[in-house]
Amino acid sequence: MIDRVCTIVLILLSTLAISCSDSEQVECTSVGDPTGDPLPNVSIPPYLDCRDPLPGDTTDSPTGKVCTNVHISGATEEGKRFEQYASCDVVRTQRPYWPAEPKGLPSPTDPRLQDQDFMTELAWVTDQLRSTGCVCCHSSSILAAPSQWDIEMEGIWTDALDSRGAAIMGGQLASQMLGHYPSQDNNGFDRDHTGMPTTDVARMQAFFRADLERRGVTQEEINNMEPLGGGFIDAILNEEPTPCEEGQGVNQDGTLTWTDNKGARYVYVMNEDSSNPRTPPNHVPEGTLWLLQVSPSDQPVASGLRYGSCPPGASQTIPSTGEPPALVRGQSYHLYVLEDVLKPITNCTFTY
């Protein structure tokens, strides 16, 4: 009966799309902090974790809480340890982590060990890292097998980075797949211009660029290096949408479908000229009309859901409240469906 009513209204209002919920779908609510036990191999979206300061710690926060973005590019307050105010287990779901041997080893006779100015800068870089989500994969005090470089190494731990890694850290190679927050929303830490979040972009860039100069790495060599994630990630982020095939898009009755049998954790309906989603927290392109997101503790949603309503376990991220804008008959839109972060299923445009 509900579907019949929708059909009649669509006929009468031929310029608008109406989406009607069926008995298996629930009212959409905005996405909150991740709750419950996440399923294996699922990326947990970032969220803000606010805690009381630990004994001996203080905060200038007006709430009296230390608030930390639980994300690779997140940071707690400067001078505090990230792992004491956020979950590194969550952070490690947000990127492929694997143990990796260092590319090089510090030398116990390195003359820089006697250079007080250099050692002061190295200590500052290390302290900056301890306050950020980077530490979750690169500190043997947190993880038995860090990935390639370990800030707990004796001596000059930055020697464990290869030249490409140093260029990423110094912001000379792109690392957009890690996402970034505005510094004012990230306890003063910026990751838009360097490979790790920092409260002083120029100082961080200068440290790693000086290291590359010491190694004799030229700008031409840097230009020939792959950015973080390589061409594979770049291809995903910048892939042009194709016209939707039959069985993809939003039908007249509001049913949204994609042809792959894979379940989805992110479903976007956007304006036709909207760019592809980036990675969280930069995953909402301008022109997003509707974003459905599945909790990491729930199973992905199947093709055939209704535009503007949510199957169990799913929540509406865009808009934060209320129904999404009605689609206009004859207008084209961009459909983007992901199995999980950086795992697109469908990227196409359709005419409603």
**Cα 351 off chain centre by:** 30
The answer to whether 14 touches 327, Cβ cutoff 8 Å, is: no
Cα separation, 150 vs 130, in Å, equals 11
Polymer length in residues for the chain: 352
The answer to whether 268 touches 341, Cβ cutoff 8 Å, is: no
Q: Return the ∠ at Cα 151 (arms to 227 and 51), rounded to 5°.
A: 95
**Residue 134 structure tokens:** 């980077």
For residue 33, the one-letter residue type is: D
- Count H helices, E strands: the chain? 7, 11
For residue 90, the one-letter residue type is: V
Cα separation, 289 vs 268, in Å, equals 8
pLDDT along the chain (352 residues), means of 10: 36 33 44 66 94 96 96 97 96 87 93 98 98 96 93 96 96 92 97 97 98 97 91 87 95 92 96 96 97 94 94 91 94 97 96 96
Radius of gyration of the chain (CA): 23
Total-model pTM: 0.87
The answer to whether 254 touches 20, Cβ cutoff 8 Å, is: yes
- Whole-number pLDDT of residue 98: 83
